[in-house]
Amino acid sequence: MHRENLTKAEEAEETIRTRFHRKLFSKFAQAVVCYDLIKPNDRIAVCMSGGKDSFLMAKLFQEIKRHDKFPFELVFLVMDPGYTPANREAVLRNAQLLDIPVTVFGTDIFENVSAVEKSPCYLCARMRRGHLYAKAKELGCNKIALGHHYDDVIETILMGMLYGGQVQTMMPKLKSSHFEGMELIRPMYLIREGDIEAWRDANGLSFLRCACRFTENEARGTGDGKGKRQKVKELIRALKREDPEIEQNIFKSVENVNLSTVLAYKDKENRRHFFLDDYDG
């Protein structure tokens, strides 16, 4: 079938199988295998914010399920945190355009966060995750999938060091502390943001960016300036101009931690271990 006879959903799927197979689907499958993200009989809530990352994630999940290696179920979950009618309509229109059968539920997160001055994005993210876990569990899911990608991971590493005074990363999966039996997975973990944007543009698609009131104020120049993540993005770009390996090295830095070369670390019980504790032992 010629490309001009395909629906928009079929076009998007075809590019995932052909032009973007190596950079998108192969990286998605690699993360699933490497980090053991999907198991037989999982019921996964694919959490869709309306942006490019989560819409691509939904299409990649549909594609990997098409391969039918083992049984698992998908629920495409859209949480409305208080979108404007236009933004909500944009999300639903894209879901229909790309043949993604979404389940939508509403919350008042934007209303609650809009008056918060300190770290509103952090609070918003935590509230979103709690609502997603709760709804996913209600729908019989045992996992939620988020659309964070490789660039998010390396930016988080640097943000933790520069602004948080700690070495940590955004994990490819983790068990929920508050929702028993629930797990979070990030199957886009190895996919580059530039490749997501290239897939979006190649298919003539347009998605939401973060649509909360805080970021709308930033866009109008009425906020408090450039956000920390944007500053870190620019720092990484500047460093990459001098060393093309810089992004890979940042990613590898949290794979190659040698505990004998750090001053202190915390174990999973949050107990602090100082290097002098067993220095003379």
Q: How far is CA 5 from CA 2, 9, 208, 274, in A?
A: 6, 12, 27, 65
What is the value of pTM for the model shown? 0.90
Which of 91, 94, 93 has the alpha carbon at shortest distance from 203? 94
The pairing of strands 173-175 and 183-185 is antiparallel
The pLDDT score that the predictor gives to residue 268 is: 87
In whole angstroms, what is the distance from residue 281 CA to residue 279 CA? 6
Question: In Å, how far are 57, 107, 199 from 114, measured between CA atoms?
Answer: 28, 14, 33
- Residue 22 pLDDT greater than 50, yes or no: yes
Q: How would you class 59 by CB atoms within 10 Å of its CB: exposed for 0-12, middle for 13-18, buried for 19 or more? A: buried
Can you tell me whether residue 277 is helix, strand or coil?
helix
The arithmetic mean of pLDDT across residues 61-86, rounded, is 92
Query: 32, exposed or middle or buried, with CB in 10 Å at 0-12, 13-18, 19+?
Result: buried
Return the ∠ at Cα 61 (arms to 205 and 194), rounded to 5°: 45
Q: Is the pLDDT of residue 2 over 90?
A: no
User: What domains are there in the chain, each with its CATH number?
Assistant: 3-225 (3.40.50.620)
> What tens digit of pLDDT does each residue of 232-250 get?
999 999 999 999 999 999 9
Q: What angle do CA 254, 257, 261 make, to 5 degrees?
A: 145
Q: What share of the chain in percent tops pLDDT 70? A: 89
Interval 73-79 mean pLDDT: 96
Contact between residue 186 and residue 145 where contact means Cβ atoms under 8 Å apart: yes
